[in-house]
Amino acid sequence: MNVPRPIVAAAILAAALVMPGRAYAQIDFSGVWAPIFHEDQPERVPGPDVGDYAGLPINDAARMKADTWDASILTLPEHQCKPHPSTYGFRGVGNLRIWLDFDDATQKLIKINTQIQWMEQKREIWMDGRPHPPDYAAHTWQGFSTAHWEGPVLVVDTTHLKQGWMRRNGLALSDRATMEERFIRHGDLLTHIFMITDPVYLTEPLVKSNGFRLTANGIVDPYPCESVDEVVREKGVVPSHLPGTNEASEEFAAKHHLSVEGVRGGAATALPEFAKKAAAP
């Protein structure tokens, strides 16, 4: 039968439109992105002071864990090569590379990969509809991520995270934390918004945003790591401060003439009402 070409084309187009399970990338995030540090620069680049918990919806358990944290724990060989977990990595330094994996036959988007330079934080974000692993499966630094599109916005859900951190001064996240993210592209700018929920250390979700700029010739260098004995110490020692003995935890407020109550964190301290109260004579 000789079918007119316009009809064949229309049929192919119609079939393509109704074919189930297609998940074409609506926005292409691939490329190398450089972090923009206008937001929270003192915390993200030089690093936060000990005792700076300002603006975070933490509970008393998180406060105690951070107050008793001793940075010397990072000298233990088992701690030296830990990468940032995905709950923190996008706030760290170093370029971000994003690339896409497609199924050869169907050209369906299977996975979005990300890698951040420091400690080679490699992450897989699955787009093929697979379920999250069972609760007895292993946890990883980057967690298990699946995503879907909400219009032009990529929405990512992450579970199975290892115990991690929300700030590099001992403020911990537990392995029960989960994260929801939004990736939004505006030309050469990428906005990344994340919301962390942790029933162990947060009283309400922690929401932060990060900015990135696309680079034309961006490089993500390798980051090998080999742990070594940095400090001679008795076997089995784990550095920490006994509760109530870490005097450094109060230095931040004094140095910046801030309210001690404010820098100790908590959801209420992030509200305008608290700022008014703290400013009152």
How many residues comprise the chain?
A: 281
- Rounded CA Rg of the chain: 23
Q: Is 234 in the site for another protein (CB under 8 A)?
A: no
Q: Is 13 in the site for another protein (CB under 8 A)?
A: no
Q: Is 175 in the site for another protein (CB under 8 A)?
A: yes
* Residue among 6 and 131 whose Cβ is closer to another protein: 131
Exposure string of 219-249, with b = 16+ CB inside 10 Å and e = fewer, is eeeeeeeeeeeeeeeeeeeeeebeeeebeeb
Nearest distance in Å: CB 177, another protein? 10
Considering only CA atoms, which of 84, 118, 73 is closest in space to residue 221? 118
* Residue among 22 and 130 whose Cβ is closer to another protein: 130
Nearest distance in Å: CB 197, another protein? 13
Contact residues for 56 (Cβ-Cβ < 8 A; gap 6+): 62, 166, 167, 171, 202, 206, 265, 266, 270
Q: Is 92 in the site for another protein (CB under 8 A)?
A: no
Nearest distance in Å: CB 275, another protein? 28
Q: From its phi and psi, is residue 219 left (phi > 0), alpha (psi between -120 and 50) or beta?
A: beta
Name which of residues 103 to 132 contact another protein (CB under 8 A).
119-120
**Which position among 34, 82, 132, 153 is part of the footprint of another protein (CB under 8 A)?**
82
* Residue among 215 and 240 whose Cβ is closer to another protein: 240
* Residue among 22 and 122 whose Cβ is closer to another protein: 122
Please calculate the CA angle 218-207-115 and round it to the nearest 5 degrees.
25
Binding site for another protein (CB under 8 A): 59-62, 64-65, 68, 73, 76, 78-83, 119-120, 134-141, 162-163, 174-176, 199-201, 225, 235-238, 240, 242-243
